[in-house]
Amino acid sequence: GQSLEQPSEVTAVEGAIVQINCTYQTSGFYGLSWYQQHDGGAPTFLSYNALDGLEETGRFSSFLSRSDSYGYLLLQELQMKDSASYFCAVALEGGGGNKLTFGTGTQLKVEL
Amino acid sequence: ETGVTQSPTHLIKTRGQQVTLRCSSQSGHNTVSWYQQALGQGPQFIFQYYREEENGRGNFPPRFSGLQFPNYSSELNVNALELDDSALYLCASSLGRGSSDEQFFGPGTRLTVL
């Protein structure tokens, strides 16, 4: 079957760097996506990695290692507004494309 | 550019009833996906529509059905509601159905089944 594992909760202070890990088990891997969701809000796309390596977008970076079935989201210069849930996602097994299976999410709390 | 909109925002139904949720996709997007998100969980894929045809389905029973219209808006219908159907229902539109096609999510419809 298909599964994604993430830590359930991470706490960090404003200005710090935090890494949210994701390990996955799936066949027919197409890429790893990351989404952010504030309480009561819509998930918003952060990044997509199809190939091994680091992708950087402003304060956020995402890394993928296909051989290790592992990726992470790195958030730098943390701000209070970064407090949210973060989900990794892979294409639905047997489905492909952008039909996604999401992890259970990591709740990030940024403190002063 | 208009974002993804969903209606209604909240809905309360009783067990056994039927419900229709609506989604207007972002301008220019021909693909709509529906997800169910239970409290404290990640979104679960229900199905996807591409140019008015179903393009894949997750592990949901047939009482979950959908439609996509020529303007690419979409409906999710759920028959014979069960208590476990209580969740946030999200639709997401994208330019296409490829693995790198970013999905833009709507604000969701919060369904409560009593």
CB pair distance less than 8 Å for B45 and A104: no
End-to-end CA distance of chain A: 41
Residues B94-109: tens digit of each pLDDT: 999 988 889 999 999 9
For residue A105, list chain B residues with Cβ-Cβ distance below 8 A: 40-42
Q: Closest Cα of chain B to A41: distance in Å?
A: 6
Cβ-defined contact of A87 to B102 (cutoff 8 Å) = no
Whether B2 has a pLDDT exceeding 80, the answer reads no
The model's pLDDT over A55-80, given as tens digits with 9 standing for 90+, comes to 998 999 999 999 999 999 999 999 99
Residue of A nearest to B107 (CA): A42
Amino acid at B85: D
B37-82 residue pLDDT tens: 999 999 999 999 999 999 999 999 999 999 999 999 999 999 999 9
Pick A92's closest partner by Cβ from B4, B56, B105.
B56
Q: Which two tokens stand for residue B32?
A: 């709509």
| Partner-chain contact A97 B90, CB within 8 Å | no
H or E stretch at A34: strand A32-37
Q: How far does Cα A4 stand from its chain's mean position?
A: 10
Q: Burial of A102 by CB count in 10 Å (0-12 exposed, 13-18 middle, 19+ buried)?
A: buried
Interchain proximity B56–A102, CB inside 8 Å: no
SS3 A82: helix
The shortest CB-CB distance from A42 to any of B58, B102, B107 is to B107
> Are residues A5 and A25 in contact, defined by beta-carbon separation less than 8 angstroms?
no
Q: Which residue of B has its CA nearest to A48?
A: B100
What's the gap between Cα B51 and its chain centre?
A: 15
Going by their DSSP bridges, the two strands A106-111 and B10-13 should be labelled as unpaired
**Euclidean distance between CA atoms A108 and B9, whole angstroms:** 26
R_g (Cα) of chain A, nearest Å: 13
Chain A residues within 8 A of B32 when measuring between CB atoms: none
